[in-house]
Amino acid sequence: MIPRNTVDKIIETAHVEEVVGEFITLKKRGANLLGLCPFHGEKTPSFTVSPVKGIYKCFGCGKAGNSVNFVMDHLQLSYPEALKWLAKKYNIEVVEREITPEEREQQTERASMLIVMQYAQRYFTETMMSTDEGKSIGLGYFKERSLRDDIIQKFQLGYSLEERNAFTIAAVKGGYMPKYLAKTGMSILSNRYVEGKEITQSDLFDRYAGRVMFPIQDDGGRVVAFGGRTLSSDKKTAKYINSPETEIYNKSKILYGLWLGKKAIQDKDSCYLVEGYMDVIAMHQAGIENVVASSGTSLTVDQIKSIHRFTKNIVVLYDGDEAGQKASNRAIPLLLEEGMNVKLLQFPANDDPDSYSRKVTIQEFQDYIENNVTDFLYFKAKKLKNETKNDPIKRAGVIKDIVENIAVIPDNIIRSIYVKECSHIMEMEESVLQQEVNKIRRKTQSKGTSGTSTYSEQAPTAPPENFELIETETQEKENFLFDSEERELLRIMLTHGKALITIDAEDEDDTSHELEITLGEFVLFELWRDEIGFENPIHQTVLDEYVKEVSNQRLPDIQYFSASQNPLVSSFVINNIISNYELSSKWAHFGVHVNQEINNIKKGTQHLLYSLKEKKLHSYISEKQELLKTAKDEEIEAIQKEIMHLTQLKSRVNKLLGRIIVK
């Protein structure tokens, strides 16, 4: 368990704008920062960060929280794991008590798998650097590719011995459970294994024997998978094998190199997209770090969204051969549809970023990339125009292909510009191309395959300038009768709970005098005296925690609850309790003076308590009236007396509220 003072230090140090800024690009908007939400697909920024309040809020999907909540949601970590991740980032020492064997056994499967992957990376790196086979074969291969020592270390490259179960034996000997070696895909179940029995070392063999190893990290820096390249010349052996899909690795969402390149992508406001692991590594060695690869799979929409969080400008670097061109042709429409600004860079025939970087100097490589980037549509139109000069049928096919690419672009203005430019290049009437674009878009929209159009325009979801933490329509929530009073009482207790007020009190001998008490304690006393609990479960959860802290001689505030390890509590407090409307000092220039809430806090709190009590009494009366309908004769009189008593109490409360009851 992490001590509370350490938790407070982590939360105080981990500024939300710094933490969130590691994962998405944020741009200044008034007092706040704005970016694309990492929790749902969007093209119009609706994710707002308030450095002053230390929180974030998405006005598209409703996600909200502080720096710890963000790390929990984005990296799929538990509360303690998120705290440790932040502590590591800010060099804060976390001293925990030793966990028991029972607690160790209860560690989550996901955490155990991540621990196995961390061990595997260390094992493969040490194997390459310290064994004869590793140095001669694994390290020898990377040296042949002209990789420097600092680059090998930066990418944590390694080697897996040719012995078929060397890794498995070492891992089990090191205390790692065989079942997690199998679940991560690092080891494979042999034919000897009988379904249903406990997995043992003898049931496993290594997946990557005799391969150089490329660790694949998520954008939080954790190793979640590997790519392994064979050094065998046997054509029957797959050149690359990658980790299978697991609980910690979804290959369609992970980009190789994003963890190491995301800061450079933000700084340069541009990203290079390449095909393979070695292409990424070669670019880094050449001093170009804003680069990613699609991790051994065709580019996916989720991967594009990961890039889009940092920049909308992408340069596709593809091999000069036919396979490279086909790969880029598959990727480009997806990139355009996601609102990316796409450019192309083609290497000479039979070259890729890795091979070309070894043929020229670093400066020549950088110059080539800088001087040969071209807007993809212009490049494609000019290239295909030259190839189909004397063939009208091919020319028509080329035009159709270009029009289909233009049609997927979501932005009206950008589409119009491309239509105009391409009509000039292809020597065609602009109106004809525009007609074809419109026809394709209408046809696509009319299909409605999943209830939404592939190319439909996205309505802007940008938040208001003052970052009001309003509750969005996407947040499903039951409409409880007492919600407004319960929520407001909690807001006042958390915002002004430490404020001192004076109330009338009596001693044991019935002597009246004035008593000074905190507002939070006053509300708790009033609720306790009338045995009132909160109907909304999340409200009651917060109230219970408040009571617990008060019993320990502490009055918790907003900061305490917004840092709660219960994400439901912290999200509720951020969405509903933090003041949405902060008085601007500008009003004073116009002679407008607004009375501050704290000046009338006692009266306002009493009014809320009376209002809640009135609703409770009304509810009790309704319940008793329902009982009358099925009551036995001997029960009716007693129930009627209760209704009369409750009605009298309700009348008194209404008088205190200043309400006139009309019968």
Domain interval for residue 636: 595-657
pLDDT at residue number 349: 74
Do 125 and 262 sit in the same domain of this protein? Answer: no
Tell me, yes or no, whether 161 and 231 share the same domain: yes
pLDDT higher than 80, residue 95: no
Contact, 126 vs 43, CB < 8 A? Answer: no
Span 336-392, pLDDT tens digits: 988 899 999 888 877 889 999 999 999 999 999 999 898 888 777 777 767 777 777
Q: Distance (Å, rounded) from C-alpha 180 to C-alpha 202? A: 14
Once rounded to an integer, what is the mean pLDDT over residues 40-46? 81
Whether residue 134 is found in the same domain as residue 224:
yes
Answer yes or no: is 476 within a domain: no
Q: How far apart are CA 168 and CA 118, in angstroms?
A: 14
Determine how many CB atoms are found less than 10 A away from the CB of residue 144. Answer: 9
| Rounded average pLDDT over 53-60 | 82
Side chain identity at residue 67, one-letter code: S
Mark which of 242, 275, 298 sits at the end of a domain.
242
DSSP string covering 239-307:
SEEEPPP-SS--TTT--BTHHHHHHHHHHHT-EEEESSHHHHHHHHHTT---EEE-TTS---HHHHHHH
Mean model confidence pLDDT for the chain? 81
For residue 467, being part of any structural domain is answered with: no
What is the pLDDT at residue 121? 96
Residue 340 neighbours by CB under 8 Å, 6+ apart: 304, 307, 308, 312, 313, 314
Q: Is residue 626 part of a domain?
A: yes
Q: What is the DSSP letter of 360?
A: S
Same domain, residue pair 279 and 223: no
C-beta of residue 69 within 8 angstroms of C-beta of residue 19: no
pLDDT (0 to 100) of residue 269: 92
Structure tokens at 41: 């697909």
Token pair of 151, please?
């680059």
- Check: CB of residue 262 under 8 Å from CB of residue 21: no
Which CATH number belongs to the domain containing residue 293 in this structure? 3.40.1360.10
Q: How many independent structural domains does the chain possess?
A: 5
The answer to whether residue 453 sits within a structural domain is: no
Is 100 inside any structural domain? no
Residue 663 forms part of a structural domain = no
Closest residue by Cα to residue 484 from 536, 556, 541, 540? 536
Domain finish residue from 89, 121, 138: 89
- CA separation for the pair 277, 256 (Å, rounded): 7
Sort strands 271-274 and 32-35 into parallel, antiparallel or unpaired: unpaired
**Do 296 and 393 belong to one domain?**
yes
Is residue 283 located within the same domain as residue 419?
yes
Model confidence at 54, pLDDT cuts 50, 70, 90, reads confident
Residues 184-230: tens digit of each pLDDT? 999 999 888 888 888 889 999 999 999 999 999 998 889 999 999 99
The pair phi, psi for residue 647, each rounded to 5°, is -65, -40
Q: Which structure tokens are listed for 425?
A: 């290049």
The 3-state DSSP class for residue 497 equals coil
Structure tokens that stand for 10 in this block: 């982590």
Residues 285 and 407 in one domain: yes
pLDDT at 506: 62
Name the β-bridge partners of 160: 211
Q: Are residues 212 and 345 in the same domain?
A: no
Question: Is 238 in the same domain as 301?
Answer: no
- pLDDT band at residue 102 under the 50/70/90 scheme: low
Q: Which two tokens stand for residue 575?
A: 């969405």
Question: Do residues 112 and 21 share a domain?
Answer: no
Domain assignment present for 584: no
- What burial class does residue 104 get, using C-beta atoms within 10 Å of its C-beta: 0-12 exposed, 13-18 middle, 19+ buried? exposed
Place 293 in a pLDDT band, splitting at 50, 70 and 90: very high
307 and 433 share a domain?
Answer: yes
Q: What is the pLDDT of residue 97?
A: 57
Confidence band of 32 (pLDDT split at 50, 70, 90): confident
pLDDT in the model for residue 452: 40
Cα angle 426, 431, 435; round to 5: 100
CATH of the domain at 61: 3.90.580.10
Alpha-carbon torsion, ordered 610, 613, 617, 622, to 10 deg: 110
> Is 466 domain-assigned?
no
Question: What residues does 225 pair with on adjacent strands?
Answer: 216
What percentage of the chain has pLDDT greater than the value 90?
26
Whether residue 608 is found in the same domain as residue 567: no
Nearest to 5 by CA among 77, 85, 94: 94
pTM of the model: 0.67
Residues 6+ apart with CB under 8 A from 404: 333, 440
